[in-house]
Structure 1
Amino acid sequence: MSKFWRLTGVFLLIGGLSLGGLWMIPNVRERVLWHLEAWRVQVRYALNPPQEAVFVPASTLPTPPVLLSPTPLSTVTPTRPSGEATLPHPTATMMPTPTPTPLPPEVHISGGRYYDQHGLWNYCAPATLAIALSYWGWQGDRTDIGRVVKPFEKDKNVMPYELADYVENYTNLRALVRAGGTLDLLKNLLAAGFPVVIEKGVYLRDYNGRLGWMGHYTVVSGYEEAARRFITQDAYFSPDYPVTYDDLLWQWRSFNYTFLVVYPPDREADLMAALGQYADVTASYRRAMEIASYEASVLSGLEQFFALFNYGTNLVNLQDYAGAARAYDQAFTLMANLPEDKRPWRIMWYQTGPYFAYYYTGRYWDVIRLAETTINAADQPYIEESFIWRARARLALGDTAGAADDVRTALDYHPGFPPAVELAQALQLQP
């Protein structure tokens, strides 16, 4: 063998060993896998654009609406949204919430630690909750939370109640979730010393390089009245990330103005005083319903879709499933007529109210069709909630085998997911 080929073999061996060594470094391997995954998703989304997949409710019900459980509140008599936009776009000042005492012109809550969400899949929720907990002396890390709330790393989303459950079960702190928040309420909570986690919608570039609507958590830690902006600790963007009042209102609307507050037990009385009417969870949904009804009547396009969707969500939480189903019908019909680049096609990753509404009015086929639209539009359908709701609907229609398959898939994507475990036990599935 010539010297040239011997040297070439040596260089190839060294190169191979070097690459193998680099592959063993977690950060390097993660970056390579991320880029490979990005290229694969770009091809898939180019061939099957997810924004083209729309769910339109069936015009006739497969069975008469039947309220299975529980009984709706007899006191809920909402005014159905008109669905017509007749007034200009409301601003942050159009629906003020009275504040009993003057608030300081500026508030900045310090003492928290910043965690970013980068380097791990879909880590917005664990990183954001870690930030919120750190304000109260919690000494853990984002991965401590992630191991519990998203044991499967590519799980698309963590619900607010899952974050609250983590706080209640794994820390010495407490947490509550409410809806229908306002900018003045945020300021009131901040002035009382409570950072607030909010869920909102933002437009970010996805694997395909396109701007698209996605759900996102952030911690609101301060406000500056003169600049009309909030200061947020944002796991995606940066610490001390400013967001104007108007931008935050627009982003927050797409999640029914939902917020989570972490607090020490000995500060509960202070928190309840700062919450006012929102101390009562039912009152918060009634307030959120009023806001959604108003916005559905004055907004148009994408904003009106979110308002109608929120209206349905609040009726679900007030146990008026028939009214909720009508609101969601309007919302999805409107969404189908939006320009493709404006459709928030990921919304069922984050919010499951329509499943409740359609299931508890006996519209099992709409549950199945909505779940399949959601699952098929995602390149990686790691959306355990959609599989569980399809399982429930399939079971109601007598498809036990199909329901069992969906339950197994949900448990693969989220081991220990309580609704999946409960349904697995009901179906007597082997672990």
Structure 2
Amino acid sequence: MHTTVGIVGGGPAGLLLARLLRNAGIDSVTLESRDRAYVEQRQRAGILEQGTVDALRAAGAAERMDREGMVHHGIELRFDRGLHRVDFPALTGGRSVMVYAQTEVVKDLIALQLADGGPLLFGAQVRSVEGADGDRPVIRYVHEGREQTLTCDYVVGCDGFHGVARNAVPESVRTTYERTYPYSWLGILAEAPPVYDELIYAHSTRGFALASMRSPAVSRLYLQVPNHTDPADWPDERIWDELDARFAVDADPGWKLERGPVSAKAVLPMRSSVTEPMRYGRVFLAGDAAHIVPPTGAKGLNLAASDVIVLARALIHEHNTGSAELLDAYSDTCLRRVWRAEHFSYFMTTTLHTDPAQSPFDTRLQLSQLTRLTSSAHAAAELAENYTGLPIG
């Protein structure tokens, strides 16, 4: 079998790319190692930048998002027992973000792809990507017990940091920059309505906390915990008590989260990673295959989306004009935005979390930075611009 674009990985990046190419009349085949049920249940990010929202609408994949998603016009920062709101539209010329879980984005894109897109094969175990520096790279995979090959004009690796596609880029030309953080997140899903209509980021002497949501009836909440924490050491009541303690403010001493049954609980490590280049020959890397960010800045899904938006434009340009100019610029174009997002995520993470080795001096520096974010229009605008998403491409 031959296709113009072979896509390894059926997560949001691969599915969005397939949709964008289909709309432009470019054929593709998407290979996903997991089954459909697993892919549609993976709990991941829930904040969509303005540019991601716009891209889903332009791709015809936003009907349910626009009906069920929740537009957020700001965030609340809590620190030094005070609370401060950052107004996104006022600081960015009208930009906002959308709360709509990655699981729901994936469900929408899968339904569209199966209805009118190119082949989407679940349970397709990719073994290798070969011939990246040739004219027709080959994807070797196993599907329904049979070894098969897919020849392509181009291959796009959207299969994550531990995926196969990264190996198509020789180690001799690949450099990975990494940073690990000395803390993790304990995240929960709770059947409890959010107590606030926007996200709350809290810095406290007890550690970081984040109050988010998945719907008007489901809360998504996080606590900073030591690395290697066992979720079993955190019974539900302890989690709720600690969240209330970290969100406490003097202006409203009786403020409490709505409590409810915890339906999911997991510890999430915090790390940053960037692999350069994001293209080798006819193989392109996108999303987690090329970069990972700590979740504090809500950039993971959005960076993956921006990668494939840039790549789709380049493939469409080559298809329509015969020019590879944009394809040749893909890695450099994406990496400029990737490093900006990495820096923002690092800034949000190190400003809001308490390092186990942190001194009182370090804490005062954090509080000074947070005070500037909430008292300087210029500093607040930079936060808002990065949070709602910088221009794509």
Normalising to structure 2: TM-score of the pair? 0.25
Q: Which one has a bigger Cα radius of gyration?
A: 1
- Higher helix proportion: 1
- Give me the TM-score of the superposition, normalised by structure 1: 0.23
